[in-house]
Amino acid sequence: MRSSNILFLSGGTGTPKLLQGARNIIDEQKITIIGNTGDDWNFYGLYVSPDVDSVLLTLSNLIDSSKWWGIKNDTFKLTKFLKKTLKENVWFNLGDYDAGLCLFRSYLLEKGKSLTEATEIIKSRLGIQSTILPMGNQLIQTQISTPDKTMHLQEFWVKYRGEPQVNNIFFEGDLSRTTSQVLDAIDKADIIIFGPSNPVSSLGPILSIVPLRKALQDASGVRIAISPIIGDKAVSGPTASFLKAWNKPVSPVAIVELYNDVFDEFIIHKTDSQYQEKIKEIGVNPILDDIIINTPAAAERLMNNIMERV
């Protein structure tokens, strides 16, 4: 087990997949994850934090790895009751066990705990040794502007299945502050890994927080990002439409243009050598590797290759 302090920036499903491999070769107590909270959602009074929960469930071996969200073998009686018996127009499908997790978080928040404190309590109850930090305690919401209306990311992606035309994506909330725990984690990190997440809706909210981004710019640790794009296609999710809404091409180069101030090396897929020179011109070192993470073994192989470089 390697003993460096490893910090991950996580959103969506890409980084949780990578964490499968990381935990096999790195002391879990040396791993810290900063989770995106831009898609946090209130479901009938329950505080849902999808990206943070995907990390919690991955590291506690509870994740439904067929979807990379939710709890394996979960049931959905709660939402069925709301729909069929109470005639509610429910479109957000929260599992029963998942609802229990969110209920406990909501209880802790109601008792005056911050989101950081609540996350720490939950991860300890789940037996997780790594540190999991929300990007801040304040509410920041990812909003999607479409021709008809502006909506929360969950509404766009779940209710409307990502079908509306996207005009813009922006982050609503107080972007002037983060937590001391986040800043301390960045300062102490030997290696900072930007997971293969949607650069707009997963990494975007984290990097929109001014002091957090400044800390990453000033970080002394090695800063490595992994592309969520192969060629001109996103590996998953609405990455393509979101990049286009930000007037960026669907290309690994677009991510480097957005975030070259916070990482030094960029891992692109082994077939994307045509982008190397342009990435170098921007001032980032491109690395060719197989970035497809479809098994725990693939995640471990990629993490081993990352660790061998530092």
If one counts the domains in the chain, the total is: 1
**Among 175, 253, 244, 246, CA closest to 214:** 175
Tell me if 238 is assigned to some domain.
Answer: yes
Rounded Cα gap, residues 199 and 202, in angstroms:
6
Domain membership of residue 76 (yes or no) is no
pLDDT at position 3 is 63
Query: Tokens representing 102?
Result: 């969110």
Does 126 fall in a domain?
no
Could you give the CA distance from residue 150 to residue 187 in angstroms, rounded to a whole number? 36
Q: What separation in angstroms does the CA of 280 have from each of 24, 62, 253, 264, 284?
A: 32, 40, 10, 10, 5
Task: Report yes or no on 74 lying in a domain.
Answer: no
Asked if the structure places residue 123 within a domain, the reply is: no
pTM of the model: 0.95
Tell me, what's the pLDDT at 308?
85
Phi and psi torsions of 17, nearest 5°: -60, -45
187 found inside a domain = yes
Nearest in space to 162 (alpha carbons), one of 228, 240, 222? 240
Q: Look-up: residue for tokens 């001109």?
A: 232
Q: What is the per-residue pLDDT for 69?
A: 87
Domain of residue 224, CATH code: 3.40.50.10680
Assigned domain for 275 exists? yes
What range does the domain containing 257 cover? 6-40+131-308
**Which stretches of the chain score pLDDT less than 50?**
none
Strands 140-145 and 150-152: antiparallel
pLDDT at 4: 86
Give CA–CA dist 180/284, Å, rounded.
Answer: 29
- Asked, for residue 53, whether it belongs to a domain, the answer is no
Q: State the CB neighbour count (10 A cutoff) for residue 200.
A: 27
pLDDT of residue 221: 94
> Which strands, in side-by-side order, build the sheet including 168-173?
150-152, 140-145, 168-173
pLDDT of the residue at 2: 57
> Scanning the structure block, which residue is given the tokens 């982008």?
275
